[in-house]
Structure formats: C-alpha cells, structure tokens
Structure 1
Amino acid sequence: MVELNTLVGVLKAAGEDTRLRLLALLAEGDHTVKDLTEILRQSQPRVSRHLKLLADAGLVRRNAEGAWAYYGLTQEGDAAALAQWLVARIDNDATRKRDRERQNASRAAQQAQAADYFAKVAGSWDELRALHVPESAVEAAVLEALGGRAVDLLIDLGTGTGRMLEVLTGLYKRGIGIDSSREMLAVARAKLIAASIGHAQVRLGDIAELDPAIGPADVVVLHQVLHYFDDPGRMLAQAKRLLKPDGSILIVDFAPHDHEFLRAEQAHRRLGLSSAQMDGWAAALGLRVALEREFPSGSGADGLTVCLWRLTATGSSNTQLDR
C-alpha cells in the first residue's frame, strides 16, 4: 500500500501539462534531453527541470552515458503503474498526437543518419568491425551458446553483411536476415551465394517496425545492433514478438564505454549496454538473462569490451551460465 504523502508527491509531480507530455513520450521509449526539447519545442533548462521533478518522484529513471543522458519511464512499482494509467488517458489528446508525430520524425532522422553511415561503409564493414572486437572468440561463443539446440527458424535483425547467417549456417534449417540498408544487403546476398548458403535469405525491412508474421522463430539474433538505437528495450520488445514461447534472443554488443567519437563518426546512439540495463529490459518483457559473457579487447583501457547475452523466457529450464 502506498503511503499518502508518497502518493500526493507523485501526483503533484505528474500533474502538469509538460510533465504529462514527457511521461507519454518516455512511455514509448528512452530519449535524451535534446530529443525531448526538439519534440516539445521547449528550452533545455525547462525540460531538464521537469525531468528532475519526475525523477525525484520516482516516475522516470535517468541513465548517464558519456556526455549524454537517457531518460525512460520507471518500469516497476506503484509510480510506474500510475504513470502508465495517466498516459493511457491522454493518448487521443491533440497535443499528444502532435508530440508523437514529432517523436516519429526524430526517430526517422536518427535512422536516416545511421543508414547514410552504413551505405558508406558497407563494402568494408566486416574489416571495420574486426578492428575493435575479438571477432573469432565472439563467434565461437555464439556458436557455443546455441549449440545442441534444434533451430527451425533463425532471424538475424540488422543482419548487415550477413555474417551471423554465415557463422550459424550449420545450426538452422531456415535463416532470415533483415536490414534497412540496401548496400549492406547487396554485400550479404553476394556472400551467401559465394558460400553456397541456400537455406538463408536476406530482406529489406525496418527492424524497428517488424511484422510478427515473419516468425515465430526459435532464435532471434541482434549482433552489434542495439547501440544504434536510443531505446534498446523497444528493439528487444520487437524481437520478442517474433519468438516462439521457448525461443531465445541472442545479443552481442559493447559493454559501457566513454568513446564519444563513435557517436559522431560511426552513428552510435548508446555508449554500450550494461548488465543491469539488460536485466531490466529482459524483466520488463517477461524474459531473463540466461547467459552472459564478456570479451575484453586486449587493447587496455582504450579498448572496447564486447558482451554476449542470451535471453529466454522466465519459466525456461535453460541453465544460468557465466554470470
């Protein structure tokens, strides 16, 4: 039961036009202060002040990443339930609709920036990745994580040049790779043909808006994909929609780091993903982290550590490994 003083404080924090609009935006995914100022058409100090009041009341959470900070709706507890209740009741408001249109435009612009980058580097993508991650060790671990499982359908989201379809070719009966970059897919198709991999195909598509009819899949792979999105939790929710009830999501991405240049030069949005964040995103989807491994770069403090996670249903009998 919520104490009266706590409830009054939460209601006061939420009971203002701009703060309600912020709650509604954050209910649909994480945003930076910059994103929110552009969507709301308000100044940075004003938006920051409202976010602080919401955070102090436990309605939103803040996650600092280098020079940026991401805000999202609190996922658990009475404050989270109240925020969702309030947001549901303003969904058809005219101002809310305009905010959502601006939010969609902001996300489209970010995805276009990433697409431009991928188009430029498609031909040398595999070599570029090999510069900063121990690819052979990670790929061996990916194989081990799925070894022994019968995989009728594997879906690789953000497939890029199709490398995961190549690496895992012996484990699945049918593979589908989806990517929004035509240039990347051209490289992927050529590689699959050269390797005589006839049981996999790649498709052009927006992995942020997936058709569940593509599945259901035994395994969904997100290999070096999530750091290109402001809200990885939203992307994981898309991946879950494609899964069989006993399916697994396999994720490879960077651990938290402070290399700001990757945002400007390589279109990264998040500076790595932490274990705590992955646990939270999984729990919000009714999943759990069944496997986690880290692969340091070997380049000292300036190197990038790569992480491997496998997410499964909370009731799954999969054994917890390497946490």
Structure 2
Amino acid sequence: MAELAELVGVLKAAGEGTRVRLLALLADGDHSVKDLTEILNQSQPRVSRHLKLLADAGLVRRNAEGAWAYYGLAQQGDGAELAAWLIARLDENDTERRRDIARQAAVRESQQAQASAYFATVASSWDLLKTLQVPEEAVEAAVVAALGGRKVETLIDLGTGTGRMLEVLAGSYRHGFGVDSSREMLAVARARLASAGIGQAQVRLGDIGDLDVSLGPAEVIVIHQVLHYFDDPGRMLAQARRLLAPGGTMLIVDFAPHDLEFLRSEHAHRRLGLSSAQMAGWAAAAGLTVAGVEEFPSANTERGLTVCLWRLSTPL
C-alpha cells in the first residue's frame, strides 16, 4: 500500500487534461517526445514537462535512446494501476480523444512511409549493408543451431526483406512464409528463393504491424533485424505472438543498445538497439518467456554493432 503523500502525488500527476491524454496515447504503445508533440499539437517543452511529472509519479516509464527518449505506460506499481483504471473509463468517442487517435494513426503512417521509402532505395544491396555492420555469418549459424536440427511444419519470417532467413533455414521447415511491406524487397526475395531452388517458401506483401492471423499457427517465427524500425517493439511482438503455435519458438535478431545516431537519421532506425531487460518485459507482456540470449560483438570496435539473438518460447 502506498503512503498518503505518495498516493496524493500520483493523483495530482494524473489529474490534468493533457496528462490523461498522454496516458491514453501511451496505452496504445510507446512514443517519442517528438511523436507526442505532433499528436497533441503542443510544444516540446510543455509535453516534456507533462511527461516528467507522469514519470516521477510512476505512471509512465522513460527509456533514453541517444538523443531521443521513448515513453510508455508503467507496467507495475500504484501508478500503473491508476493509469489502467483511468484509461478504462475514457470515452473513445470523445471529440478530443478521437482527434488524438487520428493524429496518432497519421504519425505512425508517416513513420512507416519513411521506412518503406528507405527500403525501396536499398533493396538490391540490403544484405551487403547488413554485412558491413554486423557479424552476419556467426549470427546465421546461431539461428540455425537454435532450432536444434528439427524440421517444423510451418515457419514464418516477419519483415523477411530479401528472404535471407527463409534461405538460411530452408532445411528446417516444410512450409515457409515471408511477410514484408516493401514490394522492392519482395522482388529480390522471390528472385533469391527461386535461384536457390527453395520451392517450399513463399513471400507475400503485408503489414507486419497488423498481421493477418490466418497466416498461423507457426511452430517457429523469425524476426530478423526488424524491431529497431518500430517505435514500439512490444506492440509488434504481441502481434507476432498471435501467430505462434502452443509450445512454439520465436527467434529475434536485433542490435544491442548503441549510440550510432546516424542509423536513425540516415537509415530509418527508430530504436538504437534493444536491451535484454526491454526484451524480457515485452516478452512477458506478450505471454512469452526468454529461453536464451546470445551476443555477437562486431570486430569493428569503432562503429561496429553487437547483435543479440533472443530465443522466446510459449507455454505448451
């Protein structure tokens, strides 16, 4: 139980119109301060001040990533309980709330458009770009080893890009599906799979942020170098979880936290890496367990990136 002064502080922090709007927006996923200023049409100092009050009261959590910071609802404590109580009682048809929802959708569409535009310009050289940044050969070997030599009925590769994971894991599935939102990437993937004689895999155009559940269930889901393009990787993880069969395995490959800001400004990265603590929290929220994690440091000590392979599992 919270002390009286602490509880009053939480109530004061939540008891303001803009701060309630912020809580409602963050209930639908993490956002940067920049996103929230666009959605609320308020100044950055004003929004930052509101967020600080909410964070200090334990209603939201802050995660700094280089020059940016992302905010999300607190996951536990009195502040988390109060935030959930307030949000559950909001009228989604309220005029101001509907306007916030519409602006939130527009911000997300703009972000996805930026990523798609980037993918279109680098589709033919995407694998080369990744090879220059990370120890790809070691990571791919670890991905294959993570399946322990078994062959599953269905494997889904989300954000398949050039289809590289479908190629690497071709001996591990009877039916493979790759999903990506870039037509240019899929053109490369189709050509690559055909050239390799991999007939049991197919790729399709789709929004990996709004997945078609009819794709599943799959015994294995792969998310390779995708989550750092999302403001809210936890939301993406929860989407993918719906396609995973009971007792299934999810393999996630992504960068460990880093400070290479140029990847955000020049390469459409939204997150500067993902920490194991973050992954554990997102996994738990999606009903998954982190069964193991491996790290692969780059040989380039100046601008190299460490890559992590997380193996997530579901209850039987």
TM-score normalised by L of structure 1: 0.95
- Secondary structure at the residue paired with 1:69? strand
Q: What is the CA deviation profile of residues 184-236 of structure 1, one whole-angstrom value per residue up to 9, with x for unaligned ones?
A: 00000011111111111000011001111110111111100000111111110
| RMSD, aligned CA | 1.2
Structure 2: distance between partners of 1:86 and 1:158: 35
Structure 2: distance between partners of 1:146 and 1:2: 46
Q: Who is 1:174 aligned against?
A: 175
Contact in 1 for aligned 2:33/2:44 (Cα 8 Å): yes
Shift of 1:91: 4.2
Unaligned runs of 5+ in 1: 317-323
Q: Who is 2:88 aligned against?
A: 88
Which residues of 2 match residues 1-323 of structure 1 at below 5 A?
A: 1-92=1-92, 93-313=94-314, 315=315
Q: What is the CA deviation profile of residues 217-263 of structure 1, one whole-angstrom value per residue up to 9, with x for unaligned ones?
A: 11111100000111111110111011112112110000111100111
Pick which of 72-81 and 111-120 moved more: 72-81
Structure 2: distance between partners of 1:46 and 1:208: 30
Structure 1: distance between partners of 2:74 and 2:183: 37
Q: What is the CA deviation profile of residues 95-151 of structure 1, one whole-angstrom value per residue up to 9, with x for unaligned ones?
A: 111101101100100010010010000011111111111111000000011123341
Shift of 1:19: 0.3
The amino acid across from 1:185 in the alignment is L
Structure 2: distance between partners of 1:218 and 1:85: 36
Structure 2: distance between partners of 1:143 and 1:42: 48
Shift of 1:287: 1.5
Distance 1:150 1:78, change over 3 A: farther
Unaligned runs of 5+ in 2: none
The list of structure 1 runs, each at least 4 consecutive aligned residues, that deviate by more than 6 angstroms after superposition, is none
The amino acid across from 1:267 in the alignment is A
Contact in 1 for aligned 2:151/2:171 (Cα 8 Å): no
Instruction: Provide the aligned length of Structure 1 versus Structure 2.
Output: 315
Shift of 1:5: 3.0
- Secondary structure at the residue paired with 1:85? helix
The amino acid across from 1:265 in the alignment is E
The amino acid across from 1:32 in the alignment is S
Shift of 1:2: 3.6
Contact in 1 for aligned 2:58/2:78 (Cα 8 Å): no
TM-score normalised by L of structure 2: 0.97
The amino acid across from 1:141 in the alignment is A
- Secondary structure at the residue paired with 2:105? helix
